[in-house]
Chains A and B, each alone.
Chain A
């Protein structure tokens, strides 16, 4: 039986879809079978980031309405054997998300995949509620901004009430070390303290993430050495239980002065 992981945030545009896509790919590279579901009905874009838009024939609303069997609606990635996607419908609205049906679909998928990764819509409306109802665990994505952290807090409160089997973990995305260093953005420890949710990943802000997403090839698949790709890969390995210190960026591109920052973060965890 596989595990479902919901990727959520509260605030829009902080990198849920990017995280879901790259995490899925990183888990596939680690040898796992992954099904990634787009619940952002009406505003789908997971398929584009994964380069699967051309291949979508059926979507989740077709499955919910019973028009098609879930296995037949899955889109198989041409390049990665272990990766399948269930697309969101571009035309329907979140009201089409019948929570009982989605629970059944996710349960079915957990039987044939190691992980079912669910990309949530922004907000705490029906799409989010459906995701919470089927989650075994949650990844809350935030950026180092007050508004994103505050929305993350709201979402964590709701997730806590759902008592997920494998709990809630935090990913801080689009981290710009220069801004943290100069005190212009919230620092990592500060965010973790505020949310008091265990940190499982820190992803650097990198132009390559945007460029590769536009291209339909998530950065994890094309550039092993990219600092954001390393962040996603480490996130995947931590989910698989490897004890990787949260100081990856330090080793890669930061001058010595900054090592203290990551070491402090790591030690205090």
Chain B
């Protein structure tokens, strides 16, 4: 029975599959374990932890079928400590913050994938777009578009009092139409629950739109 182990952690039951054994051997061990359990339990919600092993499609189907054949078992999810390179790269690309230091001049449109930290001014007639959030250290006179084209979670922070427009997702705000005292250096723009652009103090960024996913590379 050393290939699989059942552990209770808090409210949950974890079925751990050893990282090094043969998968079929693990399935055999599971059968023995589940037969045993069927005698004593009538309901058990299970999380399968494959640890350092990444299951293929076929293995997942086999595992699911086995668990399904025991009526008292309910599979909540399959977890593991590892992930494919492709999916990791995708996560990284989406969540990194890119740091750019240059002036964006009239007529230039810069596009970024993910979040952007811009160290430099955005001149009148220039536009900076990112699929994620945009933080600017520098004076903005042009247009900043975060969450391009439709990401409501993006925010914009920086010295935006002289900006022409703030755009987030599919929304836009003409800055000249705003009450100026809202536009201190310590404000940020975000999309609220009513799907309109709102402003708040940067102190509240963490509570309103936690930027937890951002990794500084």
Contacts and interface: CB of A to CB of B under 8 A. Distances in A.
A208 to B, nearest CB: 33
B59 interface: no
A102 B104 CA distance: 30
A157 B124 contact: no
Tell me which of B104, B105, B107, B125 has the highest count of chain A C-beta atoms within 10 A of its own C-beta: B105
B51 interface: no
A264 to B, nearest CB: 21
Contact of B107 (A154, A194, A196): A154
Interface string A144-163: 00000011011011101000
A194 B123 contact: yes
A150 B125 contact: yes
Contacts, number: 26
A169 B5 CA distance: 73
Q: Is the interface of B mostly helix, strand, loop or mixed?
A: loop
B103 interface: yes
B211 interface: no
Interface string A123-157: 00000000000000000000000000011011011
A150 B124 contact: yes
Contact of B124 (A153, A156, A158, A160): A153
B103 A150 contact: no
Contacts of B107: 154, 157-158
B192 interface: no
B106 interface: yes
Contacts of A194: 123
Contacts of A157: 104-108, 126
A140 to B, nearest CB: 12
Interface in B93-148: 103-108, 121, 123-126
B106 A160 contact: no
Interface in A42-68: none
Contacts of B123: 150, 153, 194
26 contacts: A150-B106, A150-B123, A150-B124, A150-B125, A151-B106, A153-B105, A153-B106, A153-B123, A153-B124, A153-B125, A154-B105, A154-B106, A154-B107, A154-B125, A156-B105, A157-B104, A157-B105, A157-B106, A157-B107, A157-B108, A157-B126, A158-B107, A160-B105, A194-B123, A196-B103, A196-B121
Given A154-B105, A157-B104, A194-B123, 16 more contacts: A150-B106, A150-B123, A150-B124, A151-B106, A153-B105, A153-B106, A153-B123, A153-B124, A153-B125, A154-B106, A154-B125, A156-B105, A157-B105, A157-B108, A157-B126, A160-B105
